[in-house]
């Protein structure tokens, strides 16, 4: 599909990818302009459409590219020896926070995608999102010792509650950051708050 693009010398690839990330992160899919992308990347109009049939394909490629980088590094850093669910989750959150600092643009882009996706690309992405979510959960929780959870309630539902809690918590933190004047995310406060939720969830869901 994008083999032509991938044969390009790395430096040019990067220029294009970064330009696209920047534009789409700033303006979203709909208002993101291919004009601006080629200008920023220093390539011609035609070339962009030579590699990526159209704007949508470009966007999809950029999303996959970013997602892969993030996901790969994420699993590389997870310690699969740790079998305690909450310890594993603590790790996951720590890694996420770390990566947010390392790849702020890429992360911001993925975030935007998950929020803002226009009608144009909704269908494609709704599918992609559930796919991704399913894969993640299965992989991220590999080898977990589930016997520590209380037996009187459905385990799958417990896990959902816990996941949702942390997802919503981080959503709120990001929303908060967006309202602050500096748009700065206060990672320390997030981690401290997360810890409190960990305590609660451990107490109520572990035997």
Partner DNA sequence: CATGAATGAGCCTTCATTCAT
Partner DNA sequence: CATGAATGAAGGCTCATTCAT
State the residues that interact with its own copies by CB under 8 A: 26-28, 30-31, 115-120, 126-127, 129-130, 150, 152-154, 157-158, 160-161, 164-165, 167-169, 175, 178-179, 196-197, 199-201, 203-205
Q: Of the two residues 25 and 170, which places its CB atom closer to DNA in the complex? A: 25
Q: Which of residues 53-72 bind DNA (CB under 7 A)?
A: 53-56
Nearest approach, Cβ of residue 57 and DNA (Å): 8
Give the residue ranges of DSSP H helices in 141-186: 155-179
Residue 123 CA to residue 101 CA, distance in Å, equals: 31
**198-206, long-range: CB < 8 A, 24+ apart:** 198/86, 198/89, 198/90, 201/86, 201/161, 201/162, 201/165, 202/86, 205/149, 205/150, 205/153, 205/158, 205/161, 205/162, 206/148, 206/149, 206/150
Q: Which of 10, 11, 46, 207 binds DNA (CB under 7 A)?
A: 46
CA distance to 48, 89, 140, 148, 170, per residue, from 78 (Å): 37, 10, 8, 21, 19
Nearest approach, Cβ of residue 32 and DNA (Å): 6
Q: Which does 28 bind (CB under 5 to 8 A by kind): DNA, its own copies, none?
A: its own copies
Indicate whether 8 belongs to the interface with DNA (CB under 7 A): yes
Q: Of the two residues 6 and 153, which places its CB atom closer to its own copies in the complex? A: 153
Task: Single out the segment in contact with DNA by CB under 7 A; choices: 6-14, 96-104, 147-155, 198-206.
Answer: 6-14
Indicate whether 21 belongs to the interface with DNA (CB under 7 A): no
The neighbour count for residue 95, using CB atoms within 10 Å, is 17
């Amino acid at each position: 599909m994008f083999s032509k693009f991938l044969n390009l010398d790395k430096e040019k690839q990067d220029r294009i990818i970064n330009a696209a990330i920047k534009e789409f992160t700033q303006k979203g899919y709909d208002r993101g302009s291919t004009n601006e992308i080629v200008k920023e990347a220093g390539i011609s109009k035609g070339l962009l459409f030579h590699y990526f049939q159209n704007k949508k394909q470009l966007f999809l490629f950029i999303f996959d590219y970013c997602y892969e980088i993030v996901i790969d590094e994420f699993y590389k850093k997870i310690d699969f020896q740790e079998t305690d669910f909450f310890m594993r989750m603590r790790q996951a959150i720590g890694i996420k926070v770390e990566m947010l600092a390392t790849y702020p643009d890429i992360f911001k882009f993925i975030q935007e995608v998950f929020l803002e996706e226009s009608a144009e690309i909704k269908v494609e992405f709704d599918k992609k999102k559930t796919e991704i979510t399913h894969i993640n959960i299965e992989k991220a929780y590999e080898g977990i010792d589930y016997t520590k959870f209380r037996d009187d309630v459905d385990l799958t539902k417990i896990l959902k509650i816990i996941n949702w809690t942390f997802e919503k918590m981080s959503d709120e933190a990001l929303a908060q950051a967006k309202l602050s004047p500096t748009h700065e995310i206060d990672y320390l406060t997030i981690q401290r708050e997360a810890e409190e939720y960990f305590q609660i969830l451990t107490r109520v869901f572990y035997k």
